[in-house]
A and B are shown apart, each in its own frame.
Chain A
């Protein structure tokens, strides 16, 4: 089955389209799986700051995230697939965010929404603001903006769906969660005397961090 699947993955797109014209629908387990997953990405229900208001607006009737299968915001990380980090991550909040990410079931995805979640945004110079959530957890899509408009969040979501579509079930380039040996735990930082300890997760953020304002 495995070999067959790999082969059919390589089946060129043209043949697929040609068969489609003849009324024959061909697919692979991988395509079906990815289609199912990308069409039901349930975000986790939490917001951190002003960006969350835009996130809420995205789910409401005007922008209607439900069109993409993501209207079900889950109040528990156990049922959520997507973490939208919408807003300023303070150093007090960062451990909670990382812990929630850890408690989500695989496969899990992260969208860093807004300048704050990416880099600290307008508060980058603040001693109490984490300069980007990607210091602790792997982020799939970054959306700049302060705040990003709902359209931007939808675009980030579609980008994530494209990413899911391109993931392989097997092979060396399969995503982390399909790899039994890949890291599944992302250490939760603790509040130290001056800063979070550790200041970053070297596994996802290899850059050295010098000072508090770095």
Chain B
């Protein structure tokens, strides 16, 4: 068995396991011997800054916020494009201006579409 190429690996694996489990075991023993658990309803209650909590902590949150996030991101990136455009504005021709307008209008159209779909209404 010792001749197996995996033998040293197995030894290392056992050692690694012991390395992880030994502190846990010691902590468990220590807790058994020296820290009697004293649970009570107040202590186990949901922590709410000292007030009595109302309802359960396991509530569902709406994930709809990600839509706002995406729309915000689009306009954020738009600003990145608009900034160099504004800086170089005086040196640009009518074609560049039209291209930028199309770009902005495309995004505005997207916003209008999202608005019409009721994405911006928080429910």
Size category, B interface: 10 to 19
Q: Is B2 an interface residue (CB 8 A)?
A: no
Q: Is B43 touching A184 in the complex (CB atoms < 8 A)?
A: yes
Q: Is B45 an interface residue (CB 8 A)?
A: yes
Q: Is B42 an interface residue (CB 8 A)?
A: yes
0 or 1 for each of A30-68: is its CB under 8 Å from B? (1 = yes): 000100000000000000000000000000000000000
Q: Is A26 an interface residue (CB 8 A)?
A: no
CA distance A169 to B34 in the complex (A): 7
CA distance A78 to B47 in the complex (A): 8
Which residues of B from 7 to 65 have beta carbons under 8 Å from A? 34-36, 38-40, 42-43, 45, 47, 49-52
Size category, A interface: 20 to 34
Q: Is A102 touching B38 in the complex (CB atoms < 8 A)?
A: no
With A76-B47, A78-B47 as known contacts, state yes or no: A99 contacts B36, CB within 8 Å.
no
* Whole-angstrom distance between the Cβ of A69 and the nearest chain B Cβ: 20
B-side interface mostly: loop
Q: Is A197 an interface residue (CB 8 A)?
A: no
* Whole-angstrom distance between the Cβ of A16 and the nearest chain B Cβ: 23
Q: Is B47 touching A102 in the complex (CB atoms < 8 A)?
A: no
Q: Quick one: closest B residue to A105, CB to CB?
A: B43
* Whole-angstrom distance between the Cβ of B37 and the nearest chain A Cβ: 8
Q: Quick one: closest B residue to A188, CB to CB?
A: B42
Q: Quick one: closest B residue to A96, CB to CB?
A: B50
CA distance A102 to B35 in the complex (A): 16
CA distance A184 to B50 in the complex (A): 17
With A76-B47, A96-B51, A99-B50 as known contacts, state yes or no: A178 contacts B35, CB within 8 Å.
yes
CA distance A72 to B49 in the complex (A): 18
CA distance A179 to B35 in the complex (A): 8
With A77-B47, A78-B47 as known contacts, state yes or no: A102 contacts B42, CB within 8 Å.
yes
A-side interface mostly: helix
A201: which B residues are within 8 A, CB to CB? none
Q: Is A103 touching B43 in the complex (CB atoms < 8 A)?
A: yes
Which of the residues B40, B45, B47, B51 comes within 8 Å of A184, measured between beta carbons?
A: B40
CA distance A178 to B34 in the complex (A): 6
* Whole-angstrom distance between the Cβ of A51 and the nearest chain B Cβ: 18
A77: which B residues are within 8 A, CB to CB? 47
Q: Is A85 an interface residue (CB 8 A)?
A: no
CA distance A169 to B30 in the complex (A): 11
CA distance A133 to B46 in the complex (A): 23
* Whole-angstrom distance between the Cβ of B46 and the nearest chain A Cβ: 10
Given A99-B52, A103-B42, A184-B43, 4 further pairs, Cβ under 8 A: A106-B35, A106-B38, A178-B36, A184-B39
**B interface residues, Cβ below 8 angstroms from A:** 34-36, 38-40, 42-43, 45, 47, 49-52
Subset of 22 A-B contacts with CB under 8 Å: A76-B47, A77-B47, A78-B47, A95-B50, A97-B50, A99-B42, A99-B45, A99-B51, A99-B52, A100-B50, A102-B42, A103-B47, A106-B35, A177-B35, A177-B36, A178-B35, A178-B36, A180-B38, A184-B40, A185-B38, A185-B43, A188-B42
